[in-house]
Amino acid sequence: MTAQISIQGLTKTFPGRNESADFTALSDISLEIPANEFVCLLGPSGCGKSTLLGLVAGHEKSSAGGITVAGTPVTGPAAERGMVFQQYALFPWYTVEQNVRLGLRIKRLSSSEQAEQTERMLRAVSLWDHRDKFPRELSGGMKQRAAIARTLAIDPDVLLMDEPFGALDEQTRNRLQDELLAIWQGSRRTVVFVTHSVQEAVTLADRVVVMGRDKGRIVADLRISLKRPRDRMSVEFVEAEREVSACLARAEASDPADRAA
Ligand SMILES: Nc1ncnc2c1ncn2[C@@H]1O[C@H](COP(=O)(O)OP(=O)(O)OP(=O)(O)O)[C@@H](O)[C@H]1O
């Protein structure tokens, strides 16, 4: 089952340090994400994308407003919401296979089911032949594929991805985008994907939500209705990129106002 995400009047204020004023990263954000939708969050650095994702993941607590996933309020992390970070977060002392399998322990599967699921995921991200390697023996792209396999093996309804391909070269990044889409198309789930890249957003998303500097305000909500697979060189793709870029430029120019709470 996949889940709808409902964000209502979400505000996040971080306490100020050393008597400085509190800092409001997000103010009164509302967003509805239907089940199975692939949403990219785009916006200038510091606009609150990771904060929003962390709140959906349940890693952070909101200061006001709330989030429900499939109708249930988010009060902390849960297996149904899987997170992939830019830094791969693999255990260095475990092999690729062990890293993927570890995540499955929370699912209470039998040992043969764990082995089966691990193999399926490692094959999906083309790492089966590298399953006995340790993270230090992998390239950046391979590490990220292992991290994705580990999260997907748990079969979360909601996949939260915080710039997962941001540290990779363009070629590897394009390949992983295509792999991720193939996996998503094979078993749909709701995806919220943070990126800085307009091209990445147009390649992946059903919908691009652009956040501005002003406490995470949503300045644009664009549907990308290009058919998949998308040709990054096509006229339609370039046009969509231009439209998203124009919104991003407006977001970057938006006045951060007085961000103190
Ligand atoms: N734990 C924290 N304590 C205080 N301020 C924080 C904390 N986490 C984030 N912030 C602030 O909240 C704002 C939003 O940060 P966030 O990391 O969500 O932005 P972002 O849009 O993901 O940025 P980037 O694109 O650079 O990753 C920033 O000004 C940041 O300094």
Q: What is the CATH number of the domain that holds 76?
A: 3.40.50.300
Q: Which of 11, 17, 18, 49 should be mutated for ligand 1, with most atoms under 8 A from CB?
A: 49
Q: Which stretches does DSSP call E strand in the chain?
A: 5-14, 23-33, 38-42, 64-69, 72-73, 81-84, 158-162, 190-195, 207-211, 218-223
Same domain for 121 and 193? Answer: no
Domain boundary among 155, 184, 200: 155
Same domain for 121 and 231? Answer: no
pLDDT at position 219 over 80 = yes
Same domain for 148 and 36? Answer: no
42 with 250: CB under 8 angstroms? Answer: no
Q: Which of 27, 50, 195, 219 should be mutated for ligand 1, with most atoms under 8 A from CB?
A: 50
Range of the structural domain that residue 172 is part of: 1-80+163-261
CA–CA distance, 145 with 147 (Å, rounded to integer)? 5
- Ligand 1 atom closest to 259 (CA): 29
pLDDT at position 18 over 80 = no
ipTM for the predicted complex: 0.97
Same domain for 58 and 97? Answer: no
Same domain for 142 and 195? Answer: no
Domain boundary among 97, 125, 155: 155
Same domain for 99 and 73? Answer: no
Is 46 a pocket residue for ligand 1 (Cβ < 6 Å)? Answer: yes
Same domain for 175 and 247? Answer: yes
How many domains does the chain divide into?
Answer: 2
Condensed to tens digits (0 to 9), the pLDDT of residues 82-108 reads: 999 887 688 999 999 999 998 887 777
Note the pLDDT of residue 261. 41
Note the pLDDT of residue 107. 77
Summary mean pLDDT of the chain: 91
Same domain for 20 and 52? Answer: yes
Tokens at 237, concatenated: 């793709």
pLDDT at position 202 over 80 = yes
Same domain for 101 and 210? Answer: no
Same domain for 126 and 57? Answer: no
Condensed to tens digits (0 to 9), the pLDDT of residues 180-195 reads: 898 898 888 999 999 9
Beta bridge partners of 33: 5
Domain boundary among 106, 121, 155: 155
Tokens at 161, concatenated: 């991805």
Note the pLDDT of residue 160. 96
Note the pLDDT of residue 258. 43
Condensed to tens digits (0 to 9), the pLDDT of residues 114-133 reads: 999 899 889 888 899 999 99
Same domain for 125 and 226? Answer: no
49 CA to centre of ligand 1 in angstroms? 8
Cis before 229 (ω within 30) = yes
Same domain for 20 and 105? Answer: no
